[in-house]
Amino acid sequence: MSLLKQWQKKHLQPAATAIVATVATKAEINPPTVAVVAEIAVADAQKQINEQADLTSAHMARTEQESALYDARLLSFKGKGMANDAANAIAKRLIERDNDQADDRRSCAECKSFYANRCKRHISPIGGLSIYTLHRCKGFTE
pLDDT of residue 21: 60
CA distance 129 to 120: 17
Closest to 107 (Cα-Cα) out of 121, 122, 97: 97
Closest to 91 (Cα-Cα) out of 53, 36, 47: 53
pLDDT in tens, 115-137: 887 778 777 555 545 667 788 88
Considering the entire predicted model, what is its pTM? 0.52
- At 83, give phi and psi (nearest 5°): -70, 155
pLDDT band at 72 (very low <50, low <70, confident <90, very high): very high
pLDDT at 37 over 90: no
pLDDT at 20 over 50: yes
pLDDT of residue 19: 61
Average pLDDT score, the chain: 73
Which residues have a Cβ under 8 Å from the Cβ of 25 and sit 6 or more positions away? none
pLDDT band at 18 (very low <50, low <70, confident <90, very high): low
pLDDT of residue 58: 43
pLDDT of residue 17: 57
